[in-house]
Structure 1
Amino acid sequence: MSKELLQDLSWRGLLYQQTDEEGMAALLEREKTALYCGVDPTADSMHIGHIVPLLTLRRFQLHGHQPILLVGGATGTIGDPSGRSEERQLQTMEQVDKNVEAIAQQMRRIFDFETENGAKMVNNKDWISNMTIIDFLRDYGKLVNINYLLAKDSISSRLDSGLSFTEFAYTLIQGIDFNHLYDHHNCRVQIGGSDQWGNITTGLEMIRKTHDEEAKAFGITIPLVTKSDGTKFGKTAGGAIWLDAEKTSPYEFFQFWINTADADVIKYLKIFTFVSREEIEGLEKAVQEAAHLREAQKRLAKEMTQLIHGEEAHYQAVRISQALFSGNLKELSPAEMKDAFKDVPSAEHAKEDVNLVELLVNTGVSPSKRQAREDVTNGAISINGEKVTDVSYLVTGSDRLDDQFIIVRRGKKNYRMIHFLQ
């Protein structure tokens, strides 16, 4: 079974570095194993870049192994120097605790906690916060040589620009985590992104130093996910793609995946979804032969939206997309309308009855009254999906959605959201 799992991970492009490939394969073949992955609560939500190691850990769970999910209530107050060029701004303990709970809720959507090999949730604050500075220096600081730490990329890359002792010590604390989980949860493997290699190997060093020669643990890293055009994965003009529906709505989340380039979609299906190899290979053929149908993108968007937000959210995202494509906005609720047009240009107007032509000019939809009248009489103007051709039309409260806004369309694709203020 372990051979099948590792072959699948390799095919999906999810294996980057392994500390002992043969030893770990033998361990997984021999026994059901506990593996862990950590996430620091530096924000009150994970974004899609965070979930690649977690989804990989979920694959181990589907093959009978046990995931341990570490939310770093302690490490999150310090900051990991990996991949950063400057010091992280420290958060209050209260904010970190709130972030921990928010991230834990998101993890519960991905993992099964009820089966025999159900996931465990742990917080390193539970064992780190009780440790004195003397305990830290005597019990762990003595185990790791300074030269060993200076050789790590996450530390050496920051020496010229500056690195506080706080962030310098981060790798030791993550090493303590692995050692603690090894002792108390029989955890034998840590999984992380490629930037976590230095932290993982510090943990292995601590386990080696604090146990007899038979102690054996392993580390795996996942490659950094990139886009085929060289731009950063997971970023849009609006910023990161968050798992929190308040930060990135389910519709925006769905749109991110549905707009995946043909050159990237099969790669993302392998990395992010649990779709079988046979089906992915079939979708790869569909991309080659009928890319315009976007079958692979539809499957990717469905899998990811359902995983993070549920089936109903996926259904609503598809409804919004179809309504926008057809231009039949009347099918959408005010909430769906607001979500769909969140990023279109907007304007404000006093909450009062107003002639349509005046409204078009006042809000910049049309450049002049003459052009506005032409737009209306030519059938180029729609309000909330309804075409209006009467230049004397009065926009009233009956047009306002939730008594707050309307969506004006000029031509085929030029939309504007007009907010009405008291």
Structure 2
Amino acid sequence: MSNSLTCDVVVVGAGMVGAATALYAARAGLSAVLVDRGPVAGGTTGAGEGNLLVSDKEPGPELELALLSARLWADLAAEPGMGESGVGESFEYETKGGLVVASASEGLAALEELAAAQRPAGVRTESVGPDQLHDLEPYLAHGLAGGVLYPQDAQVMPTLAAARLVRLARTAGASLRTGRTVTDVLRTASGAVRGVRTSHGDIHAPAVVNAAGTWGGELAALAGVSLPVLPRRGFVLVTEPLPRRVRHKVYAADYVADVASDSAALQTSPVVEGTAAGPVLIGASRERVGFDRSFSLPVTRELAAGATRLFPFLAQVRAMRAYLGFRPYMPDHLPAVGPDARVPGLFHACGHEGAGIGLATGTGHLIAQVLAGRTSDLDLAPFRPDRFPDRFPDPVPEEFRS
């Protein structure tokens, strides 16, 4: 066992949310240690598409968090990087916008209604008629009813972005400890947090942040509390590199409904986006099957079929690979962000489902503000970790464990 470390805060989980939390905590003047049982971005972050979205958020707390996060992502991307380029170039930050399309007039009316509700919160939207769709996306299928353009939607390459945020955090004074499994949350006789026990020794701190993503329920249990985080599996198809033919993130109107669904059954809705490196990413599927990593040919076939309905040219394009990840699902579709009133010194920053990459900067910023004793920019009450009744004595049922 190595000697114990002493710091102001231990952040558990080196995915995007943990990396952002360590960064903003360090920049707030706190000594932070970021710890993970695996590598940086080794979990949900590394299996994501890198979406920074406001388009799929209904008015309310999550949309407010998404808008704050979008501003912070833009600020980070604009920071000086190597040479004359900004930091954003190092992780393929693209403000390409999102285009949500409807195949029928009923779906288009629902899109317009959502856009009208989002605008008062600060979301910029542009209605797109059927005759304008091909000005934005020349290869899009014909016969669609129209859509809504969201200029604020953006994208990053997630593993590069997480690595960059960790590097910025270390430059600001944070430490990184990978390959260290947290086996216990240390507490005083009065129940307050005093650090974590890892496979390589204890790390002492008066604050611990649970940024363990899909495994957030297991970490919460180590501190003696319940947090109902469950894995929601999703697949992504990756095509061969192509000239840029898909200019925006393009998805069908039913994607928003799938995101908000409580169903454990398989749901797919076409999502297609190009990348700076050339491949096209194709999603999206959702199903609660625990941590089952089995490849599903029927799911990937559905993804391919949906993508070719939106962009017929993809029928002639080869898929290089498919990968899967597990989104950290919460019953009310809001993450747990902020202090846990049940355990002094315990903070949570998990349960973002498929929006963790986009919401990471805002989450980390808000957690750092509270850690530093400042008033948070957003009201954290809707994200309270203890908002759920204790009907989950085992926060992660056995069949859902890794």
**Would the TM-score normalized by the shorter structure come out above 0.5?**
no
TM (norm. structure 1) is 0.23
> Which structure has more helix as a fraction of its residues?
1
> Which structure has more strand as a fraction of its residues?
2
Determine which structure has greater relative contact order: mean sequence separation of CA pairs < 8 Å that are 6+ residues apart, divided by chain length: 2
Which protein has the larger Cα radius of gyration, Structure 1 or Structure 2?
1
